Every structure is written in structure tokens, then in C-alpha cells.
Structure 1
Amino acid sequence: MKHQTGKRLFQYAWTFRKPTILALIMLFAAVCAELAGPMIAKQMIDTNILGIEKPWYETADAGSPYAVAYNGKHYVREDHAAAEDMAPSKQVHVLQVGRGFVFFEGQLAFDGKRSLQDGTLTFEKDGRSASYAVRTLSAGELYPFYRPEFGSLLALAGLYFGLLLLVALFTFGQRLLLQTSANRIIQNMRNDVFAHIQKLPIQYFDNLPAGKVVSRITNDTESVRELYVAVLANFFSGIIYMVAIIGALFMLDWRLALIALPLVPMMVIWVIVYRRFAAAYNHKIRERLSDINGMIAESIPGMPIIQAFRRQKMTLSEFGSMNDDHFRYQNKLLMLNSITSHNLVNVVRNVVFIAVIWMFGGGWLGAAVTVGVLYAFVDYMNRMFQPIVGIVNQLSNLETALVSAERVFELLDQKGIDVADGSMPRYRGNVSFEHVTFAYKDKEYVLRDISFEAKHGDTVALVGHTGSGKSSILNLLFRFYEVNEGRIRIDGMDLQDIPRQQLRRHMGIVLQDPFLFTGTIASNVSLGDPRISRERVEQALREVGAYDMFSALPGGIDEPVIEKGATLSAGQRQLISFARALAFDPAILILDEATASIDTETEAVIQRALDVLKQGRTTFIIAHRLSTIRSADTILVLDRGRIAERGSHDELMALQGRYYQMYLLQSGEKPGVQPGTQPERNGLTPSLSASPRNL
């Protein structure tokens, strides 16, 4: 799975390969320019500063820019002297002893520990000693020997400054390109995730809380963004740095390079061990964070119920348990990071430095390792440990990003339904169910052998107790779910042969609990569909009798609507939902207990509008208040997934079966009393508002 995750992350990055590759080229250029610094410093130390101790030769060319006058003679350093001047008899030395300098004419037998006493310079090495008569140089006499190197020092300093400017320029460019590419990658990923959500079947959301889906779109993709912005940048720059530094160390001295070389496999082992523990911790952390988001998303809209039933302490306890679990794993990861990050790097670095200094002081590295080489080595090692620290410190973000990417790709791998771009002519709306059997879960059937027909212009009402299968019939008609057995036809066409989007294009639905989006009243009617004009919005609101009501608001039908229409009454939200369905002129209109939340006066307004609007449409009504469906052409009485009774209101009342009993219970009439007349009442009789709504 992790291999596939890495491959898919690479595929997303490959989309923006040009700016990414250019950023890496600029990064390589910046590293090379920066790593030239220690080489320049080595040149300045060994050649321009400590080079004063190289052999000098007396010269007759007093006009040479490298000639130094001293005691009536002119001298030029070995690396600037002409071949004819480099006679052993003309050799002199300027040597540092302690904090002072001396002048000595002649050749040195060997170099070693130096001591000066009464004008005599003594060298001691390996049991040998040699003494020479020397003259002490004052500061004024010493200065001319350094003066020829000032031009070279300034040139090297200028080169170093120029390289620093190049480093700054390349670093700015690579970071800008890399982070811009990373933001583009995550922008595409979020678009893909959100677009894929539109394709997922309804049952996917039945099993996954909304908060967890939100967490994957926001938190998890943001963690993946850190992978491209911080983690990969540190890894790329770290690898380039380390390869370039090891190459530079081989150029300095192969023995020093061999000392640094074991750091590479050490870091690889380091990463493997770290990831082994961190992966498990990060999985738990992301799971708990997702659970926390899910609970928050559930608790906020459910706050009235939580407070009404005094569930605050219980809810807080459940949240605290999740939060404590998240905290515990965060601490475990923090402990792992503390042990394996900066502290461990410092220990390794100090051990390497001690080893090199000990070897240099003991002469194990030989005379070829000069002070400048040692300085460059120390500088390079400091620079090498910086990317190691950067890589190690990003391991936590790497694991978090990989876990988050797995969760995002898990969502993208859910089988979706492609959105059809085409359209189909408006169908008439002749609906037939032919021996339809359906189960949400395997073998747990909620519909069994359902067969009925609804002709164009008919109104079909579905009644029955909770769980009898009323909503399931409409879910199948909308193709939110697929039938297990049998078939459903519209105008003779099998629903399986009609793309879902084209099928739903000519359907309208009004739910018991309408959903409104943030926007305006008008935008909630049209849903931003360009086919729905302003005039059509106003007409739909007039047809449901709501235009005058909303026109009285300060903003009219452009009055702002906040999330879920919290500032509107239940009746106003339902009227908007009615207008929304009617604005799209559906061939099939579905009302899922649409008037349950509306007061009697508003219901009367809608009922009058429905009598007109149902003409020319096939209408399905799920009704708990049986008084609202007396005019339906067909009433289907469902019981445990089967059609127990069917017929018109009068036919079912005459049958005196289940429908008859339910109607009498809701109306309060006594058996034998003609429906519609006022029965005698002894005591309290169940009224419409007090009767069970979910019959």
C-alpha cells in the first residue's frame, strides 16, 4: 500500500514536472555555489594567510608586484618567483613562533615544534633538533610580506560575496517554484477528492460520518501539502548537499572523506528505524483526529438535543476520551522525535570532530592536511549535519503525510459513478415497478416483490409504519441504490439503462427536513443552474404561494440564507424547497412528508398549489398525515416491505383494513361513523398533532 501511495504521490508531482525539475536544478546550483565557500576559505588560509611561511627567494626584479623589500634586499615568494631566482642559496623564510614572526636566511632541514630564545630558533621532531640564528620581525617589517596577497584576498572575498548572492537568488527561485508547484498539486488533489465525492453512492455516506469526510478533504490534504513543500524540499536539498559535500571532501583529502562516508548508511538505518515506530503512531493520531472532527461535526448541529436531554457531561466525556487518546500518541511521537532528532545528530557530529582533531593533532593525517584543509573539513561537516538534521526533523512530517495520503487515496479508490455530461428529452413519467426486491444489507430485505404502476399525471401515495419501505421505494426510483431483483421502468425504459444524472434531471424532490445552502433565497431555488432564470424563480415562488411572504423581507428573495437556513422558519424552508423542485419543471415529483413541518395555514396554501402543479406530472407522496392524501389516485399501504393494500381513499376505507384503522386513529372517528362527520367524543381523543407521525 505504501509503495502505491508513493507512486501516486509521484504521479501528482509529475503533472508539474517542469517547474519542479527547474526548482531542483536551481537547488543544485545553489548547493554548488554555497559549497564553493569552504574551498575559497581554504585558499585564503593556506595560500594568502599561512602562505607567508612558504620559501622566499632573493630577486633582482624590484619592480615585480610580488617583490618585498627588507633590509636593503628584495624577496619574492616561491609561488610567484621566476625559475632563475629559485636558487637554494637565495632561499629565506618568514616563520611564526608563538604570536611573533622571525626572518631566517637559508634552508630548513625539517619542520617541527618551534621555540625561540635569544635570537635562536629551535625545531624539535621525533627526537631530532635543529637550531638557526634568526631575526625577529616587527609589525612594520612583517606587513610588506602580506601586502602582495591583499589583491588576491579581496578578489576571493568578492567571489565569495558574489556566490552568496547567487545562492540567495537560486534559493529564492527554487523555493518559490517548489512551493508554488506543491500548492498546485494540492489544489488538484482537493479538486479530485471533492469531485470524487460527487460521484460516490449514497450508501458510502451512510457509513462514514461527515466530519471524517471533511477531515480527509482538509486536514489530510494539508498534511500532504507539507510533504511537497517541506519534506521533499529538505530531502532533495539534503541529498544534494550530502553528495556534493562528500565529493568536495574527496577533493580535499580522501582520508577525510572516508571518515565522513559512514554517515550515509548510518542515516539510512536511522530513517528505517524511525519510520518503523513513527508509522504506527501517526496512523493512530490521524484516526483519532478524524474521530474528533466527526464528533464535533455531529455535536454542533445536535446541540439542541444534547442540551435538552442533559447529555453535556456524557458528550464531553466521550470527546475527552478521544482527545486523551490523541494526546497520548502525540506524546509518544514527541518522545521518539526528541530521542532521534537534533540531540542524536549533535552527539554523532561531536564524535566525528573529536576523532578528526585527535588524528590531526597526532599527525595521523600527515603533512598534506593543512590548517586550511582542516578548516574546510570542519566547515563541510557542519554543513553536512545541517541537512541531516533537516531530514531527520522532517521524518515526522513524512510519516504524517504518507498516512494522510493513504487516507485520501482510500477515499479516491472508492468506486464512484461517472457523471454523465449529456442530456435526454423530458420523459412523460410513466413509472412501473416489476417484482422489485431490495436490501440495504445482504439478505436483510426491506422490499419484497413490489409491483405497481403510476401513469403520467397520477398521484401515488405511500403509507405505512416506520420501516415498512416507503422511503426505500423512492431511493430506488432516484437510483440512490440499485435493486437486487426485478426492474423499474420509466416510459418503458429500464432505469439501469438511463445514466443517473440524466434520470434525475427530470425529477424533483421535497424532503421532510429541507436542506438549504449558504447564499440567498433565489440561489437556493435555482441552485445556480443557468437554465433557471430569475423570472422562473419568481414564478415558482408564486406558484407555491411564497413570493409575497419573502418579498416582505428586507432583501426580498435576495435575502441572505446562512447554513441550513437557520434564520428561517421550518415552513419558510419547506416553501423554498417546494419552489426549488417546481422551478426545474420535473416530470416526476416526489414529496417525502413534505408538509409535516408546516403549519396548517401554510399547508393549505401549498395544498392548493399542489392541486394545480400535479397536473401533467407523476407525483409520489410519502404521507404520515393521511388527511393530505385523500385525493391521491392510488394509495399503497406497505407492511414489512410488501404492499398490503392498494386503491383510492374511498376503496381502502370500504375495505376496512389497515388503512381504515390508521385513518380512524388519526382522525379520531369511531368505527361505523361516516368519515368526515363529527363523532361523539368521550374524554380526550387523539388529535392530529398528538398522534404518532411515523405510522
Structure 2
Amino acid sequence: MTTNRQTGRRLFQYAWTFRKPIFLALLLLAAAVCAELAGPLIAKRMIDNNILGIEKTWYETTGAGKYSVNYQGKQYIREDHVSYADSGQGKQVRVLQIGRKYVFLGGQLAFDGERTLSGSTLTVHSKDGREASYTVRQLSAGELFAFYRPEFGGMMTLAGAYFGLLLLVALFTFGQRYLLQTTANRIIQNMRNDVFAHIQKLPIQYFDNLPAGKVVSRITNDTEAVRELYVAVLANFFSGIIYMVAIIGALFLLDYRLALFAIPLVPLLYVWIIVYRRFAVHYNQQIRSRLSDINGMIAESIQGMPIIQAFRRQKETLREFGEMNDQHFRFQNKLLMLNSITSHNLVNVVRNVIFLAAIWMFGGGLLGAAITVGMLYAFVDYMNRMMQPIVGIVNQLSNMETAIVSAERVFELMGEPGIDVIDGTMPRYRGNVSFERVTFAYKGEEYVLRDISFEAKHGETVALVGHTGSGKSSILNLLFRFYEVGDGRILIDGRDLQQIPRQHLRHHMGIVLQDPFLFTGTIASNVSLNDPRITREQVEKALRDVGAYDMFAALPKGIDEPVIEKGATLSAGQRQLVSFARALAFNPAILILDEATASIDTETEAIIQAALDVLKKGRTTFIIAHRLSTIRSADRILVLDHGRIVERGNHDELMALRGRYYQMYLLQSGEDPSADRIAANMT
């Protein structure tokens, strides 16, 4: 299994290909965060300056101005606007709030503290026990409004600035999400192309050990999980880091004591992530593995549905699927429990503890008089905003682990040794084939071929016969280089197969299987396989040569009749005829017929047998056949038994030999070989 560090490096390499849009998206994200975090500072200024600023010192002035207030025939201006007055400073006065009432004091407070109002008398009690009384006048709503009116312009300006920031945040957020989404889609598009391209390079034996459904799961489900890493996880982690750094910096600007409340969250979040990953990695690995098994079983069940229903295996199949699904469900629940414990609820607890500590210290005066209400509001707002990215990061931990585990599975597949596809072609060889003392085993020393030697010359037809497991298909697998020779060597036109690139070798080979595979498309596209070198005329000629053109021309759309998956709408004979035409259209030097007539009715077999003479002209042909009547005209017949050639010759020679081939032929023709042997002994 690929390590996390190697996985992270390869994920970074994919992202680096699109570094420009990613960096631009992260830059827009940073701009959006900074614009959004300016909101609490604007709110603080509005509270402290424009709303609570009414309690600042006011000065009596002689001239009326933009920021002056007329109260009982006199003009007053607040201390922070005194530079705008037309005259110098005069008598100091105060506007004070007691509960929901506001009063006018024609002087200054000696000290501030707890305020009580009794009629027109204001009493102030300090924490150190001092007490002072003042004569004040309660302000009416209209008089209070007059003192607030100079601030309306500033408040509207700040509100407009805040609204403008919201528009910028929306614009920047749209830009970064669009860029990240499109970039992530392009990354996954490249990854899927790479995975699918690598599958084309994998040797055949790899697919012998891995169900198709599991391969499909890695290409689709696992790569889609990786997409979330670039879209949601990257955005949340990056924005969370920016948020936390910016908020801690803003809190230091407000008051370093407030920043001390936020700093412990950083190591806490780090420990949080470490603990979460310790448990989540195992759960996610099990979930992805079970999901892959489920996909594999679904694909297998769909392909084998006729057998399942014919043998009434529905209940057993459902039970097996239910066991896999239950295992997937259990691990999903374990991960859900982990997420529930370590995500939003825990964040709320931490946030509320911080708020209670801050309010307690503020209410008890432990933070000092320098902490204003507006500053406390900004602190609460910033801490709420800081908790949001923390929640975002924690909630994305599950997606991150899923993406990493999925990426490991994808890169594990891509790490399988493959065979590089070589461009170009080689001249068409004649097709003289020679096996020289070839020995081969699929696993270890379980040999399926032992000391195989024979020659097949250009234009000859060589038939391979024998019981199941005798090694017939293994000979052709080695000839196609689906597998490599163990001992000995195979020559084509005197050249060792190992010296010929697989793609060049197979370029001049054709194969017809017992169960032909047809792709979704049309009859014509299945003959040409959409190879631009094969023209429409060649497709039609190939179909005519195998005697199938008239049969398919009678269909509603002729040879352009649609073919669904695996050619399910065609008969076995029709599929086989398409497969024959495909082999012929590519004009191979070596033609392999692997039980090509085994599943065909007698009438269709007669058509194909008539076409075989056309197919075999000018090329070397290998035929694997159980029906010995189809190979009577073969130039050479090799009889295999347990991986060895026990007899060789043409039909007449082998029949005269009265050996294994002779007995097989008599059995298939309905005669009793034992009776014939007795009669021979009596003569």
C-alpha cells in the first residue's frame, strides 16, 4: 500500500500541473477572508464611536457647524469632532446613560462607576467606595436624537463600506469556488485518464486476480472521492488557516489579552486532527474496501444473472450481498460516531467555555477599563468567526481521510508494473512460428506446458486438441505474449518474440474467441473497432467474405444496426460472425481461432467453415477445437495431454496411428473405440 507521504506527493504533483488557477483561487480566498474579517472592526467602530460615543466629553462652542448640537439655545460639539468647530473649546459637558434613560450633565464626572438616578439627582458609586452626586436633566427623545444626528452620516458611511465589503466577499468567494471546482474537475479528469491509460498497459494476468467491479470502483468512486480533497478540503483548510491567523492578528490589534483566549485553539486543533486521524484512517480503509467489494459483486451478479435465476441462487446471492453491505454499514456508523463526537458538538463546548471566561473577566473588571463594549462585541464576533473555520476543518477531516485512502487505492493500481505502449508499427511478418522447448507455469512450478516444440509455416493451419487443461490456450497466450515464456523460446520468422514489442507483434495477429466480445456501437464499428485505417468498403468485404453481409443487411439499419453491451441482441452465431469479420478486416499474418465454432449452430457452422478457406489464405492459422470434425483439413494437428505434445500429424496420419486422437475422434462420431480395438486385435 502506498504511504501517506508518497500519496501526498503524487496528489501535489497533480495539483501542481494546475498551480496557476489554484494559486489564483487561494489568493481570491485570502482576499475574501480579509474583506470578511473587516466587518467586526467596522461594527466595533460603529458601537464605540457612533453609538456609545455619545458618552464622550462634549464642549460648548459659539459657532454652529456640521457636528454641533443645539441644546437649550447653546451649541455643543463632541471631543472627537472638535477640530471641525468654528471656534475654540468651551465648557465641558456630558451625556450619560442610566439604564434606558439618558441625562445631560453640565460638567464632568470626577470618577465613573455604578450609576443611579433619583429624580434629577445622579449618584455614582465607584468600586473603591467613593460616592458623588450630580444634578442632571433627563433628555427627551427629540433632544437625544439631536445628539445622535451628527453621527448618522458616519454610520451610513460605515454601513455602506460594510455592504461594499459583503459584495467583494461574494465576488471573491464565487471566483475562488469556481476556479477550485473547475480545477479539481480537470485534475480528476487527468487522473482518470491516467488510470484508464495505465489499465491498458497492465498484463492480462493482473485482471485474472482482480474483479472488474473493483477496477471500476477505483476509476470512478475513488477518483470522485479524491475530487473532494481539491474542492472542499483544500478550500476549508486554507481558509481556516487564513481565518485563524487573521483573527489572532486582529485580536492583538484590539487587545493582547483577548488574543490570549484564541491562541490555545491552534495546538488544540492540531491535537484534535492527530487523534481523529488515528481512528479515522482504519475506518475509511475498511469502508472503501467494502465499497469496492460491493461494486465487484454487483458487476458479477449482473453479468451472471441468467445463471443466478436459472439455478435459483437469488436468496444466497442476496445473503452474500447483505453481509458485505452490513459490514460497510457498521464501519460507516463507527466513522459517523467518531465524527459526531469530534466535530460540531466539541467545537461548541470549547467556544462556550471561552465566551464564559471572557464575559466573567469583563464583568468582574479583570480585563480593565480599556476593554470597551464594542471591543467585547468584536471579540465575540471574531471568536464566532474563528469557530466556523475550525468546524469546517474538523468536518472535512472525514473527507480528507476518505480522499487520502481513495488516492492510495488509485495510486496502488497505477503503481502496478505495466507495459509501455510503443508507437509505430513494424512491417507485416510472414508468420513462420517456431516453439523451441517451451516450458511455462502460471504459478510457481505448477507447469501447464512442458518441453513444447513444433513449427507452423506461413500459410499452414495448425490445430491444437486435447482435454480441458491440457495447455492448448496457454500456447496461444504465450504466442500473443499475454504471458512470458518460462524456459525455451518462441520465434516468428526466426526472430525471438522477446525482441518484438508486444504492440508491434499483435498488430499483425487476429483472434476469434469462443465467446466473442462486442462493444457498444454498431455492427460496422465492431468490425473495424473504429480504426481509421479500415474503410467502410473493407468492413463490407470482410462481412461478405465470412458470409454474413446479407444476414446483417436484412436488419432495419443494416450493418449500422446498434449493438448494445456484449451484443446481447444478437445470436451467438451472429456475434461470432462479426468476430470473424473483425479478424479478417485487420488482415493478420497469424490468425487464432480459439473454440471459434463451439457455440454455433450447425447451419451457421457450415457458413463459417466455407469462410475459413478464405480466412486461412496467406496467413498462419492456429485452431483450438473440441469438435474434431472442424479440423480435418488442418495441415498439422497437435494432440496435447497434461502440457505435453503426445501426438502430431494430419488427420489421416493420426487416424492411422490409432492413438489418442483416433479414440477421441471415434467417441465424437458416436463409435465405440474399444470395439474397434478388439476387432483390430482379432485380425
- 2:9 corresponds to: 7
Aligned residues: 674
Q: How far, CA to CA, are the matches of 1:193 and 1:608 in structure 2?
A: 43
For the 8 Å contact 2:667–2:673, the answer to whether it is kept is no
Distance 1:651 1:576 in 2: 34
Contact 1:462/1:621, CA 8 A, preserved across alignment: yes
Aligned twin of 2:106: 105
The Cα of 1:470 is off from its aligned counterpart by: 0.2
Is 1:338 the counterpart of 2:340 in the alignment? yes
Partner of residue 72, structure 1: 73
Q: Is the 8 A contact 1:78 1:86 kept in 2?
A: no
Confirm or deny that 1:205 pairs with 2:196: no
Residue number in structure 2 paired with 1:687: none
1:255-310: CA deviation from partner (whole Å, max 9, x where unpaired): 00001111111111111111111111111111111111111111111111112222
Distance 1:18 1:74 in 2: 60
Q: How does 1:15-164 map to 2 (within 5 A)?
A: 15-62=17-64, 64-82=65-83, 90-126=91-127, 127-164=129-166
Amino acid at match of 2:368: G
CA offsets per residue over residues 507-556 of structure 1, 9 Å max, x none?
A: 00000000000000000000000011000000000000000000111110
Residues 188 and 226 of structure 2 are in contact (CA less than 8 Å); yes or no, is this contact kept in structure 1? Answer: yes
Counterpart residue type for residue 400 of structure 2: L
Preserved CA contact (<8 Å) 1:57 1:86: no
1:306 aligned partner, one-letter code: I
**Paired residue for 1:195?**
197
Match of 1:652 in 2: 654
Distance in 1 separating the partners of 2:369 and 2:290: 61
SS in 1 for 2:93: strand
> Is the 8 Å Cα contact of residues 58 and 85 (structure 1) preserved in structure 2?
no
Name the structure 2 match of 1:177: 179
Give the secondary-structure state (helix, strand or coil) at the position aligned to 2:133: strand
Stretch deviating more after TM superposition (296-305 or 196-205): 296-305
Change in CA separation of 1:279 and 1:86 when aligned onto 2, cut-off 3 Å? farther
Once the two structures are TM-superposed, the CA of residue 107 in structure 1 deviates from its matched residue by: 2.0
Shift of 1:674: 9.7
Q: Deviations over 1:367-413 (max 9, x none)?
A: 11101101111111111111111111111111111110000000000
**1:387 is matched with which residue?**
389
The amino acid across from 1:218 in the alignment is T
Secondary structure in 2 matching 1:598: coil
Give the deviation of 1:604 after TM superposition.
1.0
Whole-angstrom distance in 2 between the partners of 1:659 and 1:91? 125
Give the 3-state SS of the residue equivalent to 1:169 in structure 2: helix
Matches of 2:675 and 2:496 in 1, distance apart? Answer: 45
1:265 aligns with 2:267: yes
Q: Where do 1:300-379 residues align within 5 Å?
A: 300-379=302-381
What residue is the counterpart of 2:242 in the other structure? Answer: 240
Aligned residue for 2:13, secondary structure, equals helix
In structure 1, the residue matched to 2:616 is 614
CA contact (8 A) 1:122 1:131 kept: yes
Matched residue type, 2:528:
S
Aligned ranges for residues 359-438 of structure 1 at < 5 Å? 359-438=361-440
Distance in 2, matches of 1:21 and 1:593, equals 58
Q: Which amino acid aligns with 2:665?
A: Y
1:357 counterpart letter in structure 2: I
What's the secondary structure of 1:512's corresponding residue?
coil
- How far apart in 2 are the matches of 1:253 and 1:246? 10
> Distance in 1 between the 2:341 and 2:562 partners?
54
Does the aligned pair in 2 maintain the 1:341–1:392 contact within 8 Å? yes
Q: TM-score normalised to the size of structure 2?
A: 0.97
What's the offset of the Cα at 1:109?
A: 1.2
Q: Is the CA contact (8 Å cut-off) linking 2:63 and 2:87 kept in structure 1? A: no
Q: Which amino acid aligns with 2:415?
A: D
Cα contact 1:636–1:646 (8 A) shared by 2 = yes
In the superposition, relative to structure 1, how do residues 495 and 466 fare at CA in structure 2: closer, same or farther (>3 Å)?
A: same
Look up the equivalent residue of 2:350 and give its one-letter code.
Answer: V
1:527 maps to a residue whose letter is L
| 2:103 aligned counterpart, secondary structure | strand
Q: Deviations over 1:111-158 (max 9, x none)?
A: 110001121111111211111111111111122211111111111111
Between the aligned partners of 2:577 and 2:327, the Cα distance in structure 1 is: 46
1:649 counterpart letter in structure 2: H
Pick one of 500, 506, 509 that aligns with 1:507. 509
The alignment partner of 1:467 has SS state of coil
Note the C-alpha offset of 1:673. Answer: 9.4
Q: Paired residue for 1:682?
A: none
Q: TM-score, normalised by structure 1?
A: 0.95
1-structure distance, mates of 2:106, 2:19: 65
Q: CA deviation at 1:670?
A: 4.2
Unaligned runs of 5+ in 2: none
Secondary structure of 2:303 counterpart? coil
How far does residue 669 in structure 1 lie from its aligned partner after superposition? 2.7
Shift of 1:231: 1.3
Query: Which region of structure 1 is more displaced relative to structure 2, 513-522 or 332-341?
Result: 332-341
SS at match of 1:81: helix
CA RMSD in angstroms, aligned pairs only: 1.5
CA contact (8 A) 2:527 2:585 kept: yes
1:627: Cα distance to partner?
0.7
Seen in structure 2, the aligned counterparts of structure 1 residues 316 and 672 have a Cα distance that, compared at 3 Å, is closer
The whole-number CA distance in structure 1 between the counterparts of 2:354 and 2:595 is: 78
Structure 2: which amino acid aligns with 1:397?
N
